[in-house]
Amino acid sequence: MNIDLETFCQQAEEFISAHYPRRSARAGSEHAAVAVIPERSAAQEAAELPEAIQWRKTTFDAGFGWIDGPAEFGGRGLPPSYADAYRQLERRYAVPDEGYTRFSVGILCPTLLAHGGPELNGRYLRALRRADIVSCQLFSEPDAGSDLASVRTRAGRDGESGDSWRINGQKVWTSGAHYSEVGMLLARTEPGSRRNAGLSVFMIEMDQPGVEVRPIQQLTGGKSFSEVFLDDARVSAQSLVGEIGRGWDVINTTLRHERAVIGSDGAVDLALVPRLIDLARRHGCWDDPVVREATADIYARAQADSLMTLDFLDRAEGGMPGAEMSLSKLRLTDNLQRISALAQRILGGSFVTELDDDFGWSQLALTLAGLRIGGGTDEVLRTIVAQRVLSLPRS
């Protein structure tokens, strides 16, 4: 379908505005939470999840659910710039939180396109993009967080026919495991193999016997992450993503897309700038030149990083984000750290004592550490940038 970008944006805005109102310039209450990893109560999640899923179905059925995706799986086959334009438009409206389906849509689907094969893709791609199925990522373990080559979860062939596998092990820090129907799981399929050799990736049903999900209590009081215990859980041979023993290739693709999703979400730091200004005004320090200069620096960095990331994505070959997306994630988390530090400067002791209804900024500080670990720690990403982007020698 040929359509120019201007006409597409007009149609997209007409569609979104027919369902949801525009966001206010203040983006919510001045005392609202500003956590980069949202923490929701069970009641809030129960109310939000169905609405988020229904919005995915509505957008998909209207032709906006996979704008740059292949037509055979319900996509429109338009350039990535159209998908980015739609995302920019959608952020102006009070649509449901996309965090519930972010992994399914932005990370798992492109990974399956690259490694899944016809059967898996036919089974999952349309369903994931439409939120008929919600998924999670089962990679990290208690002793293998940033170092995924150290995973110990085992997958052994089940029976003489070898048409299924039994999974045993433990995963941790899994976002959304408690409401996901399927998971993308990394396991060691070659006994005695070491490091990144002998690893394989499977799609696994989360509601089967042998899969136990236990929520993890956060510093902020939320339970958005879980640990998952696998005791003879089964997956079929048809659930394999990629090739046996070549799981490292699959997870590299997954992590590239994960870093692209995190790094390209420049709306996070840009959206917090008006909140910072409001905070400074309420606490009588907006005329402080140090505060104003720091705010301007944060805003300039956010704008520059957003343009840099768009350039990275435009130059991505075949839709595959390059190693440079590690820089985008680093820059985003660095700017969020600057925002947190400035909020602490403005609030002083009340940042900790919560005397003035500004606990939301404390949530930013408490959740930021998790963002700097998820998708690769700062140290890992700096090494990737040094070696794969700048071609510096190994130290």
**β-bridge partners, 206:** none
Indicate the SS3 state at residue 105. helix
Residue 373 and residue 146 in contact, taking contact as beta carbons nearer than 8 Å: yes
The rounded distance, in Å, linking the Cα atoms of 359 and 355 is 9
Q: 102: which 2 tokens?
A: 């972010």
Q: 50: which 2 tokens?
A: 């169905």
Find tokens 């150290």 and name the residue: 150
The rounded distance, in Å, linking the Cα atoms of 98 and 329 is 19
Nearest 5°: CA angle at 318, between 316 and 319? 60
Residue 375 and residue 259 in contact, taking contact as beta carbons nearer than 8 Å: yes
The rounded distance, in Å, linking the Cα atoms of 111 and 364 is 30
Specify whether 258 is catalytic: yes
The rounded distance, in Å, linking the Cα atoms of 190 and 209 is 24
Residue 39 and residue 222 in contact, taking contact as beta carbons nearer than 8 Å: yes
Q: 393: which 2 tokens?
A: 């020698």
Residue 263 makes CB contacts below 8 A (sequence gap 6+) with 309, 325, 326, 327, 328, 329, 330, 331, 332
Residue 128 makes CB contacts below 8 A (sequence gap 6+) with 104, 105, 108, 109, 112, 135
Choosing from 45, 90, 227, 258, the catalytic residue is: 258
Q: Return the CA Rg of the chain.
A: 22
Active site residue ranges: 258
